[in-house]
Amino acid sequence: MLLATRIYEPEAAAASFRLRALVRGLSERGAAVEVLTARPPRGLLPADDGGRVRRWPVLRDRAGYVRGYLPYLSFDLPLALRLLAARRPDVVVVEPPPTTGAVVRSVTMLRSALGRHLPYVYYAADVWSDAAASTGAPAAVVGVLRALERYALRGARDVIAVSEGVAERVRELAEGHSVTVVPNGVDTDTFSLEDPGNLVEDSSLVPDPTDGPFLLYAGTASEWQGAEIFARAMRQVVLHEPTARLVFLGQGSSWPALAQAASELRPGAIEVRPLVPARVAARWHRAAAAALVSVRPGLGYDFAYPTKVLAALACGTPVVYAGPGPAARDLLEHGLGDAVAYDVDAVARAMLRALRAEPDDAARRRRAGWVLANRSLAATGAAAAAVVLSLDPHRGRL
């Protein structure tokens, strides 16, 4: 098996967790897996992978993310040669963007023409062309991206979608293509109630318990998440709770705007911190009064289920969620946190409620238990692995 992805651990992102679980699920079922990915950002050290993960230097944006046309090309063009040079796999799995999917389809077609058929699976976390259109990208750019996405989807032997909403849109673009829904999960070994301890030598990376309660936004913050709403709401929060704190921990295109918002409030009211390894992010979750998660409505991501929600709940931490989507329903139906409209006033009130809530150990255990029962990454990784293995000619259908 071969996995082609621009993002992989130790980068703390939903895709990294999802793909690591897939690799683990495949390995547990006896499949040999090689990962072709990018070299991680400076300061993040990859775990010992026994040589199965092959990394390539890439261009990154100022936030340290592989995002934008040139960064994508810096991964995709060498990937074509890496795929051609790799020992022939039974199946290839590819993670977006669609440019990477297009490279994989082209190379697998070439290798199939030169020998036996080489299928690939497209792992669709979202629909990139729809997202580009919703953010106001030029029509020509959207058209090219949609053509590439259709090309990548239609050539796949199977598509894994992370939600039914994504699956429905993929079926439209790929004209009824086979799609299997495997919801995102979270690593409940890393994100859990218990802190393993002694995992971080640099005390500046972890929360100081003497600093008092704080709210946490952890992970990527880009256009469709709209995390700026929490920074705007913080202006109201500090009027009622002068010592309130909000910590942004991660990366993304919104980082400059968040840093600007932090400079407009008293020092320490908003902290903007860089990306940290997942085990360190878990410590921040455990210490937070609540985790903040948002989805900006109307940008094509109303069906998204951010993994940030699951990471927080697995640590026992309540979630304040702003925006539409299935995560909001789960939070309200199961009493796991608060879900409000994507509105500054509503968000500010929810943040104040979270800061003023009394600690509840029983509620923390119930939140973590819900994730274990419903969204363990081990279970979702196994489900995705089953889709991939079903395409292995030595195991089943083609």
pLDDT at 184 exceeding the cut of 90: no
Going by pLDDT thresholds of 50, 70 and 90, the confidence category of residue 397 is very low
Mean pLDDT score, 181-185: 89
Whether pLDDT at 168 is above 80: yes
Beta-bridged to residue 2, according to DSSP, are: 34, 92
Asked if 156 and 292 sit in the same domain, the reply is no
CATH (domain of 302): 3.40.50.2000
Looking at the domain assignment, is residue 279 inside a domain?
Answer: yes
Residue 138 domain-assigned?
yes
Residue with tokens 């299997």: 180
Asked if 9 and 110 sit in the same domain, the reply is yes
Same domain, 178 and 235: no
- What pLDDT shows up at residue 4? 97
Quick one: 235 and 175 in the same domain? no
What are the angstrom distances between the C-alpha of 34 and each of 91, 102, 243?
11, 20, 49
Model pTM score: 0.73
For residues 106 and 226, state if they share a domain.
no
What is the domain range of residue 139? 2-185+377-389
Please indicate, yes or no, whether residues 171 and 303 belong to a single structural domain of this protein. no
**CB of 71 closer than 8 Å to CB of 54:** no
Contact 1, 34 (CB under 8 A): yes
- Digit-coded pLDDT (tens) for 94-145: 999 999 999 999 999 999 998 888 999 999 988 888 888 877 789 999 999 9
Q: Any bridge partners for residue 290, and if so which?
A: 215
Asked if 160 and 300 sit in the same domain, the reply is no
Confidence at residue 67, expressed as pLDDT on a 0 to 100 scale: 81
Q: What is the mean pLDDT of residues 35-54?
A: 78
Q: Say if residue 142 is in the same domain as residue 230.
A: no
Number of domains in the chain: 2
**pLDDT recorded at residue 58:** 93
The reply to whether 370 and 382 lie within a common domain is no
Q: Mind listing the pLDDT tens digit for each residue in 328-384?
A: 999 999 999 999 999 999 999 999 999 999 999 999 999 999 999 888 888 889 999
Statement to judge: residues 279 and 234 lie in one domain: yes
For 263-285, how does the pLDDT look when each residue is reduced to its tens digit (9 = 90+)? 999 999 999 998 888 889 999 99
Q: Check whether residue 140 and residue 217 sit in a common domain.
A: no
Same domain? For 90 and 210 the reply is no
